Amino acid sequence: MVKKKGIKWVVKRDGMYWPSEAMKKSANMSDSKIYSKSMKNPVAFWEGLAREGLTWEKEWESKNAYVEKLPYFEWFKGGKINFSVNCVDRHMGNSSRTALIWVPEPVDEKPIILTYGELYNKVNRFANVLKKYNVKKGDIVSIYLPMVPEALIAMLACARIGAIHSVVFSAFSADALKARIQDAEAKILITSDGYYRRGKPESLIKKAKSAIKKTTIKNVIVVDRIGKKVRGKMFKDFETEMADVDSYAKPEIMNSEDPLFILYTSGTTGKPKGVVHDTGGYAAQAYWTCKWNFDLKPEDTMWCTADVGWITGHTYAFYGPLLTGATSLVYEGGPDFPNPGRWWKIIQDHKVNIFYTAPTAIRMFMNINQNWIKKYDLSSLRVLGTVGEPIDKVSWMWYFNTIGGGRCPIIDTWWQTETGGTLINTLAGVGPFVPTISGKSFPGLSHKIVNEEGHSVKKGNKGFLVQQSPFAPSMLHGVFKNHKKYVDTYWKKYKTMYDTSDGAYMDRGLIRITGRTDDVMKVAGHRLSTAELENAIHDNSLVLDVAVVSMPDKIKGEAPIAFVVLKSGKASKNLEKKLKSYVDSKIGPTARPRRIFFVADLPKTRSGKIMRRILKALLVNEEPKGLMTLVNPESVAKIDLILQGQNILKK
Ligand code: PRX
CB 238 within 8 A of CB 222: yes
Q: For the chain, what is the mean pLDDT? A: 95
Q: How confident is the model at residue 608 (pLDDT cuts 50, 70, 90)?
A: confident
Task: Tell me the mean pLDDT in the region 41-68.
Answer: 98
Does ligand 1 have an atom closer than 6 angstroms to the CB of 388? yes
In ligand 1, the atom with minimum distance to the C-alpha of 527 is 10
Instruction: Judge whether residue 349 has pLDDT over 90.
Output: yes
- Identify the pLDDT of residue 267: 77
- Identify the pLDDT of residue 426: 98
Does ligand 1 have an atom closer than 6 angstroms to the CB of 636? no
Which of 414-418, 473-477, 644-648 shows the lowest per-residue confidence on average (mean pLDDT)? 644-648
Domains of the chain by range and CATH? 10-82+256-510 (3.40.50.12780), 86-252 (3.40.50.12780), 524-650 (3.30.300.30)
Does ligand 1 have an atom closer than 6 angstroms to the CB of 357? no
Mutating to test ligand 1, I would choose from 266, 285, 387, 447 the residue with most ligand atoms within 8 A of its C-beta, which is 387
CA gap 77, 489 in Å, rounded: 25
Cα 118 to ligand 1 centre (Å):
34
Torsion sign over Cα 233, 237, 242, 244: negative
Share of the chain above pLDDT 70, in %: 98
- Identify the pLDDT of residue 647: 61
- Identify the pLDDT of residue 217: 98
pTM, two decimals, is 0.95
In ligand 1, the atom with minimum distance to the C-alpha of 425 is 26
**CB-count exposure of residue 468 (10 Å: 0-12, 13-18, 19+):** middle
Closest CA to 158 of 185, 119, 181, 131: 131
Cα 388 to ligand 1 centre (Å):
4
Cα 209 to ligand 1 centre (Å):
32
Nearest CA to ligand 1 atom 6: 416
CB 421 within 8 A of CB 477: no
Q: How confident is the model at residue 411 (pLDDT cuts 50, 70, 90)?
A: very high
Cα 251 to ligand 1 centre (Å):
34
Highest mean pLDDT out of 308-312, 333-337, 515-519, 565-569: 308-312
Q: Mind listing the pLDDT tens digit for each residue in 475-488? A: 999 999 999 999 99
Task: Tell me the mean pLDDT in the region 8-19.
Answer: 96
Between the CA of residue 221 and those of 38, 233, 584, what are the distances in Å? 46, 11, 25
In ligand 1, the atom with minimum distance to the C-alpha of 520 is 1
Bridge partners of 539, per DSSP, are none
Does ligand 1 have an atom closer than 6 angstroms to the CB of 438? yes
Would you mind telling me the total number of residues written for the chain in this entry?
Answer: 651
Q: How confident is the model at residue 648 (pLDDT cuts 50, 70, 90)?
A: low
Cα 389 to ligand 1 centre (Å):
5
Q: Mind listing the pLDDT tens digit for each residue in 183-201? A: 999 999 999 999 999 999 9
CB 156 within 8 A of CB 88: yes
- Identify the pLDDT of residue 651: 42
Does ligand 1 have an atom closer than 6 angstroms to the CB of 301? no
- Identify the pLDDT of residue 102: 98
CB 344 within 8 A of CB 372: yes
Cα 358 to ligand 1 centre (Å):
10
CA gap 387, 411 in Å, rounded: 9
- Identify the pLDDT of residue 573: 80
- Identify the pLDDT of residue 4: 60
Cα 390 to ligand 1 centre (Å):
8
Q: Mind listing the pLDDT tens digit for each residue in 73-99? A: 999 999 999 999 999 999 999 999 999
Instruction: Judge whether residue 2 has pLDDT over 70.
Output: no
Closest CA to 141 of 149, 132, 130: 130
Instruction: Judge whether residue 321 has pLDDT over 80.
Output: yes
Task: Tell me the mean pLDDT in the region 524-529.
Answer: 91
Task: Tell me the mean pLDDT in the region 237-249.
Answer: 97
Task: Tell me the mean pLDDT in the region 326-342.
Answer: 96
Cα 387 to ligand 1 centre (Å):
6
Nearest CA to ligand 1 atom 21: 389
Q: Mind listing the pLDDT tens digit for each residue in 110-160? A: 999 999 999 999 999 999 999 999 999 999 999 999 999 999 999 999 999
Nearest CA to ligand 1 atom 22: 389
In ligand 1, the atom with minimum distance to the C-alpha of 265 is 9
Q: What is the 3-state secondary structure (H, E, C) of 532-552?
A: HHHHHHHCCCCEEEEEEEEEE
Closest CA to 444 of 60, 83, 75: 75
Q: In the chain, count H helices and then E strands.
A: 21, 33
In ligand 1, the atom with minimum distance to the C-alpha of 390 is 23
Task: Tell me the mean pLDDT in the region 614-619.
Answer: 94
Q: Mind listing the pLDDT tens digit for each residue in 449-480? A: 999 999 999 999 999 999 999 999 999 999 99
Q: How confident is the model at residue 3 (pLDDT cuts 50, 70, 90)?
A: very low
- Identify the pLDDT of residue 572: 83
Nearest CA to ligand 1 atom 4: 388
Does ligand 1 have an atom closer than 6 angstroms to the CB of 74? no
